[in-house]
Amino acid sequence: MSEDQAAQKDELLALASIYDEEEFHGAESAQGGEIQLCLELPPNFKLIVKGDKHTEYDVSFLPPLVLNFELPANYPSSSSPLYTLSSKWLSRDQVRQTHHCKKSNYIFQQHSPCLPDKPFFSTPQMTSLCKRLDELWGENQGCVVLYTWIQFLKEEAFAFLDVKSPLEVVKAGKAAVKRAGTIIGEEGKLESLLELDPRAVLLVDPRTDILPQLLDFDEAQRQKVFDGKVFCCSICFMEKLGSSCLCFKECQHVYCKACMTEYFGIQIRDGNVQCLNCPEPKCTSLAMPSQVKLLVGEELFTRYDRLLLQSSLDLMADVVYCPRQSCCQAVMVEQDTTMGICPACQYAFCTLCKRGYHGLSHCKVTADELRGLRDEYISASAEGKKFMEQRFGKRVIQRAVEESFSRDWLYENCKGCPRCGTNIQKVDGCNKMTCTSCKQYFCWLCLGQLTLVNPYSHFNNPSSPCYNQLFQGVDINEDDALSDEED
């Protein structure tokens, strides 16, 4: 084995031992491979989208720079590695699109398992990185250089390119395509773009909206970091890996999945789907439906989804439910109308009283509803009273008010006969009462039924609760007392 081959083998083995399979994997049929380099972003790094609205997004991770390389037979003694450097986000608004053209050597074409063979986009920033890699090879010629390249790209690329927050992302559309400046093969244009290094590749078409891809990658990397950390659950006080925990997005409070599964299950079974909030006292963060779906079973999530939809519909003024117990379908109601037609069973009903639609006739009121109508009417505003009069009719309202006042007076001044329930008012006299309807004797104090033979024995018996209370609560004046003594 030659010295170059030995050096190449040792270098690839070293890279495989330093980086995991996601960061580095070697080619099977050639001396080469691919390295993915996630750059370290400074704190509070933001993406900015300029368009109709000026929007900023906080990100902690950007898609990696990808270094594809192949090692020539005479590397490292004489030749540099062949490589392409690709990215999805560098200098997107300075992109220049190129196409295969027989008349130009501008396109970098390598028929190799390590290097991509496809049309690409090149950028000035990526070109400057390639020039810096060439300089590092010149400084270290004769020695292996891949690790030096990797360290530079990973640790110094941001500073070298002077990339600062916020990083502007161009929204996909005609403007982005126009900025790309498509080349169709005119020799003058090709010559003017020869300064762009063909080894520098931008992997995304400018007509593609890159923002969702950047945000999805950031979210996936955040989750990966979270899964590897250890957290203490504030419910069971056990330490668990993030992969076994749930983090509320808004407040960032963390609990183990076992505790939250039980908590969500209890709330959903009780119908409290609007209360799947963070268990931290006074915290109002809510769990996302996607988080709930990951923890509870399919049956519980179906119930949660249905109740959540129903609670949302309940808040909509133009949505009512079909009053038929066998249907209960949500029904959209047009404005300024009291008629609803169920789309499922075709039942036409009044949206106010939930009975069959009765046109312009007043809503019918049951005896039980009539009792509560007076209080609702008295406490209503002038507009509310007018609406109730139109809905039920003035006669019904007046009757409800009168009956309600009568009921209140009877409640305050009368007691019901313990035998037949007739309302009896006590005007004067002792506590032995006689029902005017069924003639039953009874005690006014305890409403106990008294015997017909000797009704007063109830007040003379020491074991009776009303012993010696025949005249309890009765006002006796002096004249009455004298007349009683004479008697």
Q: Would you please indicate which residues are annotated as catalytic (active-site) residues?
A: 430
- Given a contact cutoff of 8 angstroms between Cβ atoms, the answer to whether 355 and 322 are in contact is no
DSSP letters along 296-335, please?
S-HHHHHHHHHHHHHHHHHT-TTEEE-S-TTT--EEE--T
- Given a contact cutoff of 8 angstroms between Cβ atoms, the answer to whether 107 and 98 are in contact is yes
- Given a contact cutoff of 8 angstroms between Cβ atoms, the answer to whether 146 and 11 are in contact is yes
- Given a contact cutoff of 8 angstroms between Cβ atoms, the answer to whether 112 and 83 are in contact is no
- Give the chain's end-to-end CA distance (angstroms, integer): 143
CA distance 8 to 75: 7
Strand partners, 441: 434
CA distance 169 to 159: 19
Neighbouring residues of 333: CB distance < 8 A, sequence distance ≥ 6:
318, 319, 320, 339, 340, 351
CA distance 201 to 119: 9
How far CA 225 is from CA of 220, 221, 242, 334, in Å, comes to 9, 6, 8, 51
CA distance 159 to 58: 20
Read off the DSSP letter of residue 363: P
DSSP letters along 227-251, please?
HHSEEE-TTT--EEEGGGEEE-TTT
DSSP letters along 129-185, please?
HHHHHHHHHHHTTTS--HHHHHHHHHHTHHHHHT--SSEEEEPSSHHHHHHH----S
Strand partners, 68: 34, 84
The dihedral built from the CA positions of residue 229, 235, 238 and 243, taken in this order, carries a sign that is negative
Which among 210, 153, 157, 220 is positioned nearest to 180, based on CA atoms?
A: 210
The token pair at 171 is 């929204």
CA distance 72 to 32: 9
CA distance 216 to 359: 55
